[in-house]
Amino acid sequence: MLYIPPYKITPKIIDLVSKISEAVGVLLYAQEELRLHRINRIKTIQGSLAIEGNTLTTDQITAILDNKPVIAPINEVQEIRNAIKAYELLDELNANSMNDLLKAHLTMELGLIDDAGRFRRQGVGVASGKDIIHYAPPAERVPYLMRDLFDWLDETEEHPLIKSCVFHYEFEFIHPFSDGNGRIGRLWQTLILSEWRSVFKNLPIENVVYKYRKEYYHAIAISGGEDGCTPFIEFILSVIDETLTMENNAPRTTRDKIMEQMRANPKITRNELAAILRLTPDGVKYHLQKMSADGIITHHGSSRSGYWEVVGG
């Protein structure tokens, strides 16, 4: 019999799913620039690891990403290096594969713990500071509980926003690894969401979770009662909603504005762009050439009568 995690779909959850779905549609038009992907990935890694005590800043993570030396505790630098590699796996991992989950954990914990990539063999608990807010199930039950959870994930017809939250909570409840459960739980929710809408690969949800880390642990602590993980679902959806609001309200770059105009008028000329954006024609030419070199737009036709097009529409 298929295990079904307990939760209730509340009006708040329905409202948040609707708002997030609409906001994702808006954000899809503003996520073309690779520089923004890199910045958000750095924020994601910094936020996810900071929740569990890593003290490295976004500047230090940027330096590590660029293979530059950083003065910091060795284990914290290793955590960042591992997390960078784990998030780079998002394009090849399958959210419904437990073997891929073990692969992700091995990548995230390599060189940090002895049993990286393997389920725990001892009892553990979920801690918020010095307080234990949840004692996980016995180690011998972990493989069976994880199998049940992945069977549910594979067969449920629940909306990806909801099932990703349910999986995240159930994963933290089981706490299948001796360490790194929070990092992997957040990574796997991102993976589930990115298989629904690719924009989630570069959305710094973890950075906002860190902002509300006390509420994050509180949502875990109060879930599991009569309403199952409903409080956790509502909390995480609220975080996703806030993250999308922040991203959609972020100042737009010149590139964003150029792409917006191109989508509205595919035949727009350089002079028309210059007039709308209040730039010189040469200034527009510079941006067009740079965007073309970065693979964001492509040119069709002759230099005089041709037109530019956003790659991927």
Query: Is there a single domain that holds both residue 273 and residue 232?
Result: no
Report pLDDT for 106.
98
CATH number at residue 165: 1.10.3290.10
Contact 243, 203 (CB under 8 A): yes
Mean pLDDT rounded to a whole number for the chain: 89
pLDDT tens, 240-270?
Answer: 999 998 887 766 677 777 887 887 787 888 8
Segment 75-106, tens digit of pLDDT: 999 999 999 999 999 999 999 999 999 999 99
pTM of the model: 0.80
- Are 239 and 272 within one domain? no
Residue percentage of the chain with pLDDT more than 90? 62
Q: How far, in Å, CA of 94 to CA of 100, rounded?
A: 6
**Does one domain contain both 189 and 134?**
yes
Co-location of 288 and 266 in the same domain:
yes
User: Is residue 299 domain-resident?
Assistant: yes
The pLDDT of residue 251:
64
Is the distance from CB of 308 to CB of 299 less than 8 angstroms?
A: yes
Per the domain annotation, does 1 fall within a domain? Answer: no
Same domain, 262 and 243: no
Nearest 5°: the CA angle 41, 63, 249 is 35
Same domain, 211 and 70: yes
For the chain, the domain total comes to: 2
In 175-301, which residue ranges form alpha helices assigned H by DSSP?
181-196, 205-211, 213-222, 230-248, 254-264, 270-277, 281-293
Measured distance CA(210)–CA(248) in Å, rounded: 20
Domain of residue 191: give its range: 11-248
- The pLDDT value given to residue 169: 97
pLDDT at residue 49 in the model: 95
Residues 283-298: tens digit of each pLDDT: 888 888 888 877 778 8
